[in-house]
Structure 1
């Protein structure tokens, strides 16, 4: 074991190695020497503040110096604002943005968690320790002492625990917050400085904000985008005050469905317009333009407790490019328990419309997928096909037509896939895919690259896999953004670029957009506004 650790040290540190550094203070006059990956960080009157309450992961790095052994002391205070875990965090021995140790001070659950994160799984190893004295609106002081494989954690002068792990031998430090407004005070740091074999580089997704406030409370989520025959991009999304936005004094009808437009292929977006606003929570919209030019938005209604006759699917139609919308039309389906939708209507070459729903066939049963078929332009949906998997809930199906005419469906949560060879009238038994995820979205590009974007739970991030053989094999997950919201939607632009829209999650959740180049050589995220030329 000792020889393996020596080898790891040799690989991690450059020749010339380590040197003990004199104790130093980190005083928050500004952010010099630090680099923000995500979050709203600022130095103010000697305090470091992270002011964004909602995100599960905000982090600031000190990439210029790496340490092996270290002794770091820093005060922190969590605000009582919000409903999240209100967690401060200390990151150390980080060799990349995905590989590091992390101490997580979870105020809401009165626990301190020692974490090791690795590529592909953010909390690869998590060891939890209860600490009832951890409170909001109170200054606490933590001390992290790391020598070799031994990790000691102190809080307010008391040693909480000691953990042993030698996976990572050296790296940079960082500070992190989760679902809370956190303040950090002056830090004291001493340790053994080392030179990493590879410089620590902070990579940031080149996203742009599609919508940050639709005027309903600052929470936007669940976007879907389509490109019309006129070349306009239309993005519909949920707009409320939280993940479930029931009516209140400020928003008497609860959340609504909004729409933003872009006439320059996603560089800029209009102010939000209202599509639907019924007296209860309207959510999970998707939008399609049919071959006859009509626009149709699918969505569902929701109330806490999922009371009967409130968790239903509706359609709204527009014949004038979304300037006006007709009244909501309920969808008649065979689902007798609560029904839901998260996928746009898909039009087949013969004009048949497919509408994938999910819900319980009978109250109390596990959720299943139900694909409705319409042969009269959406006026009626007399045919359907059910997709079951014994002992499993099936949610959030996405459907795409492959070049040979087969239909491929990918389903949350594991994920699973199935196919239809008869236009959607019947489906094979779902089979496991090589990756788990939520809210998958499928797109077959003009280059015949099959894309599947989704929320990747193991890393709490937005990712994508692709296939060059119509789904027989898939790539490893590609990171798009480190936010957990996801519910992505994809559309191809005239120049071959792929526009991705998704959301961030948490209080103040936003809709984001970025661009991809997808070819048989791979998929890469393009610079902001797609200023690069696809390869």
Structure 2
């Protein structure tokens, strides 16, 4: 006999007698993982406990998708290994309806807090309530407990009640474990509650990615990739290789971060070991690569100093005439900016042979002005550059522009951070005022496929995920957001493969960040 109960606008079935049932999992053998499914992270039973060993991942999740509960009481022991510099946060997920809709307890060691979170589609931390706590520590087993009944959530640590929150949005769902930026172990999980059947089975979707590079030899932090297909049919991926998000020179890495390259001859299924493209005595970053009609390869990148000293934020190119086997010396790119200048997206070659390189930066004489976009062009294959246009906005910061040429000759540009867009009908000399796109995102990347579908890859900060949207009318309207992977590094780059699929590369962020690749089915970007 079953009884209907409302669940966030849906209907679920629970036993009419409301009989409590339980489940206990020790996690001391591999057999205890039966019925659990990893969404992300490196989960395995080791030394008599369940260990999530990827200390760099900000969102490692393990689900129990086949059993759902309401009015539950869950406890689990956790052990925070004293390694890494992140928040090192074990977590407990309850009442999950899908991978975006759930309650979550985030035990944040670094900030001495426990965060009660309700997540919803489109925004991972829809409601986050922070509580400062004492007693969280590394190197010792501790016990977390959460009891949810009638919209009341009681949270305990080592038997002591920390706080009570009230929220009745979600009446029940599956449970999960989570680790954030830490090497976290779990054991002795116990759940008691009222079993229920969700109206839609809980399905764990995992990004079908290949790893391009996890360690280029500079500290195992890889980021900001860009991808191209050469005239010989190879895929080349250039990226930032360092030890952290900013990698200034230090002992063992005297030049700081460098620009590295991996290559694939099988459409992205396997990748070569990393090679060095350029390594100057400063942090080299945000590289992009353009295959030119004459067979040359042009990599644009910028130098960076966290103290932002004058002359340290500059744009350069390096050139290869042998399919990326060797590279010439860095060449400075003159820009219209008198303050700091930057680049993050590739130069685009026009049908008339011009190269247009989108940049962004500031004017030293206007310290309070917003960041603006500049375009430089070259008529000699990137050996010399002249300013083509300067785009300003009174309403928006303009950074990290991506450029694409449309079939009718218009140039379309998407710009971080709002995202905004603008277009030019005269080859890039004048532009419309930047206007907001229908979704916010960071570091957009544009690709026009052979089928005439305009794709935009980006980082979606509200869900901390890597996403893509598509347009069949050249940017007038856009599809709903499609999640490629639930990692927040992004800085996507897209290339169409010979079979019509689109390969997307992006990075994961956090200590040990790597470069990943996912192939999408054309035309709408669905993985």
TM interval, short-chain normalised: over 0.9
1:247 corresponding residue in structure 2? 249
2:483 corresponding residue in structure 1? 479
For 1:66 and 1:8, the matched residues in 2 are separated by 12
Measured after TM superposition, the shift of residue 37 of structure 1 is 0.9
Q: Secondary structure at the match of 2:438?
A: coil
What is the aligned counterpart of 2:39 among 12, 37, 40? 37
Q: Which moved more, 1:360-369 or 1:299-308?
A: 360-369
2:198 counterpart of 1:196: yes
Q: Secondary structure at the match of 2:6?
A: helix
Write the deviation string for residues 150-208 of structure 1: whole angstroms up to 9, x where unpaired: 11111222222211111111111000011111122312221111122222111111111
Measured after TM superposition, the shift of residue 75 of structure 1 is 2.0
2:495 counterpart of 1:496: no
1:319-330 equivalent positions in 2, closer than 5 A = 319-330=321-332
For 1:234 and 1:212, the matched residues in 2 are separated by 16
2:208 counterpart of 1:209: no
Indicate conservation of the 8 Å contact 1:66/1:196, yes or no: yes
1:383 corresponding residue in structure 2? 387
Measured after TM superposition, the shift of residue 10 of structure 1 is 9.2
For 1:471 and 1:391, the matched residues in 2 are separated by 21
Q: Secondary structure at the match of 1:358?
A: strand
What is the aligned counterpart of 1:177 among 176, 179, 192? 179
Indicate conservation of the 8 Å contact 1:88/1:177, yes or no: yes
Q: Which moved more, 1:90-99 or 1:251-260?
A: 251-260
For 2:81 and 2:245, the matched residues in 1 are separated by 21
For 2:320 and 2:203, the matched residues in 1 are separated by 48
CA pair 235-9 structure 1, distance change in 2 beyond 3 A: closer
Q: Secondary structure at the match of 1:260?
A: strand
Q: Which moved more, 1:286-295 or 1:245-254?
A: 245-254
Indicate conservation of the 8 Å contact 1:254/1:279, yes or no: yes
Write the deviation string for residues 450-488 of structure 1: whole angstroms up to 9, x where unpaired: 000000001000000000001000011101000111101
1:468 corresponding residue in structure 2? 472
For 2:24 and 2:47, the matched residues in 1 are separated by 15
For 2:287 and 2:480, the matched residues in 1 are separated by 29
Write the deviation string for residues 486-532 of structure 1: whole angstroms up to 9, x where unpaired: 1010011122111111111111111111111222xx3321xxxxxxx
CA pair 70-397 structure 1, distance change in 2 beyond 3 A: same
1:451 corresponding residue in structure 2? 455
For 1:9 and 1:239, the matched residues in 2 are separated by 44
1:373 corresponding residue in structure 2? 377
What is the aligned counterpart of 2:403 among 399, 402, 418? 399
> Unaligned regions of 5+ residues in structure 2, if any?
none
Indicate conservation of the 8 Å contact 2:336/2:390, yes or no: no
2:101 counterpart of 1:104: no
For 1:24 and 1:346, the matched residues in 2 are separated by 58
Measured after TM superposition, the shift of residue 349 of structure 1 is 0.8
Write the deviation string for residues 252-285 of structure 1: whole angstroms up to 9, x where unpaired: 2111111111122222211111110111111111
1:136-175 equivalent positions in 2, closer than 5 A = 136-175=138-177
For 1:132 and 1:424, the matched residues in 2 are separated by 58
1:531 corresponding residue in structure 2? none
For 2:125 and 2:177, the matched residues in 1 are separated by 16
What is the aligned counterpart of 1:55 among 40, 54, 57? 57
Instruction: Tell me how many residue pairs correspond in the alignment.
Output: 519
For 2:210 and 2:307, the matched residues in 1 are separated by 35
Q: Secondary structure at the match of 2:192?
A: strand
Indicate conservation of the 8 Å contact 2:7/2:172, yes or no: no
What is the aligned counterpart of 2:337 among 326, 335, 338? 335
2:278 corresponding residue in structure 1? 276
1:88 corresponding residue in structure 2? 90
Q: Secondary structure at the match of 1:458?
A: helix
Indicate conservation of the 8 Å contact 1:18/1:194, yes or no: no
2:13 corresponding residue in structure 1? 14
For 2:151 and 2:451, the matched residues in 1 are separated by 50
For 1:42 and 1:12, the matched residues in 2 are separated by 35
Measured after TM superposition, the shift of residue 15 of structure 1 is 6.8
Measured after TM superposition, the shift of residue 119 of structure 1 is 1.0
TM-score normalized by the length of structure 2: 0.95
- In angstroms, what is the RMSD of aligned CA positions? 1.7
2:26 counterpart of 1:27: yes
Indicate conservation of the 8 Å contact 2:97/2:173, yes or no: yes
Measured after TM superposition, the shift of residue 138 of structure 1 is 3.7
Measured after TM superposition, the shift of residue 23 of structure 1 is 4.3
2:232 corresponding residue in structure 1? 230
